[in-house]
Amino acid sequence: MSESPVTYADVERAAEIISPLVHRTPIMTCETLNQLAGRELFFKGEHLQKVGAFKFRGASHAVARLSEQQQANGVCTHSSGNHAQALALAAKQQGMVAYIVMPENAPCVKVDSVRGYGAEITFCEPTQTAREQAAREIVERTGATFIHPYDNPDVIAGQGTAALELLEDVPGLDAIICPVGGGGLASGTCLAAHGINPDIQVYCAEPAGADDTFRSYQSGERQPVGVPNTIADGLLTSVGELTWPILRTHLADVLTVTDEQIVEAMQLLWTRMKQVVEPSGAVPLAALLHHKLPGEVQKIGVILSGGNVDLNKLPW
């Protein structure tokens, strides 16, 4: 097996680099949810991170690690989700330009948000090919550095800082659970957790309608997602080339949940914890409520990955 391109030391260094740039998000607990899950849960509130999602960690780190020349040319990505906002704000905060490719059918609220962070938006047809093509053209024209949403070592190390803080604030966790889409957060979490203590069980939770990581984990080979179908719009992508080997090595298990279970967990987070968490962020709690974890797994860290929802399009 080849050496991982990202290590625990990278996560530690990322934490030092981004600590002046990101929020140190709070740990939250809720007796009712503990009772329902039959475990002691410690929620890491990344929905309270800047731009409302953990993505700001990886984007801030990737931007900070650029050379002076690269910073002068700016950064580029294609995304209609939290990574677009994260990269736009990270670039603005560190004084450089961000070129964001968005599909022309992207929700107005997301376009406005990215524009509000001062990014230069290029619209394209809503296909993966058109997005990649448009980003390539921008990179060629401007010399901007392309920042992948998850298959980027600096992004992975940056996302790992959430688990690092969680384990600093709550020592002695038996397990950590986070959602998995492309695997940036999940792989960073693995590196952080096992750098601190190899005995911590790291679980990923995934929508049944986008269960590529579950199938990859079962078969031992990376499986594409096919046509994803889930309300967890942050988890539609397939696990990455860079993130998959890390997950394969470190994960204790991958747990899948239905959209119905995701909505139930989301509503509990809203009504009981009073926290606005997006569907993707509710996937781990859904898994905890519907899967039997081993008895020795009692103290569990749960990463609430984001809180960006359209209040006019709630899934109930």
Closest contact distance (angstroms) between CB of 37 and a copy of itself is 18
Cβ pair 209, 261 in contact under 8 A:
no
Binding to a copy of itself in span 86-115, by CB under 8 A: none
Q: Of 44, 50, 55, 110, which is the active-site residue? A: 55
Longest dimension (CA), the chain: 56
Distance, CA of 288 to CA of 65 (rounded, Å): 36
Pick the closer one to a copy of itself by CB: 33 or 192.
33
Residue whose entry in the numeric block shows the structure tokens 């990101």: 22
Closest contact distance (angstroms) between CB of 150 and a copy of itself is 23
Pick the closer one to a copy of itself by CB: 17 or 277.
277
Pick the closer one to a copy of itself by CB: 94 or 267.
267
Stretch that binds a copy of itself, among 98-106, 168-176, 240-248, 303-311 (CB under 8 A): 303-311
> Is residue 80 annotated as a catalytic residue, yes or no?
yes
Using alpha carbons, select from 99, 146, 140 the residue that is nearest to residue 118: 99
Using DSSP bridges, classify how beta strands 40-45 and 27-28 pair: parallel, antiparallel or unpaired. antiparallel
Distance, CA of 189 to CA of 285 (rounded, Å): 17
If binding is defined by CB under 8 A, does position 26 make contact with a copy of itself? yes
Classify 129 as helix, strand or coil.
helix
Closest contact distance (angstroms) between CB of 221 and a copy of itself is 38
Classify 159 as helix, strand or coil.
helix
Residues 6+ apart with CB under 8 A from 243: 150, 151, 156, 182, 183, 184, 186, 187
If binding is defined by CB under 8 A, does position 309 make contact with a copy of itself? yes
> Is residue 110 annotated as a catalytic residue, yes or no?
no
Closest contact distance (angstroms) between CB of 184 and a copy of itself is 21
Interface residue with a copy of itself among 264, 270, 289, 291 (CB under 8 A) is: 270
Which amino acid would we find at residue 225?
V
Q: What ranges make up the beta strands (E) of 22-67?
A: 27-28, 40-45
Pick the closer one to a copy of itself by CB: 170 or 252.
170
Interface residue with a copy of itself among 70, 123, 267, 291 (CB under 8 A) is: 267
Binding to a copy of itself in span 30-89, by CB under 8 A: 47-48, 52
Q: Of 4, 60, 79, 80, which is the active-site residue? A: 80
Distance, CA of 82 to CA of 50 (rounded, Å): 11
Name the residues annotated as catalytic. Answer: 55, 80
Residues of this chain that interact with a copy of itself (CB under 8 A) are 26, 47-48, 52, 267, 270-271, 274-277, 307-309, 311-312, 314, 316
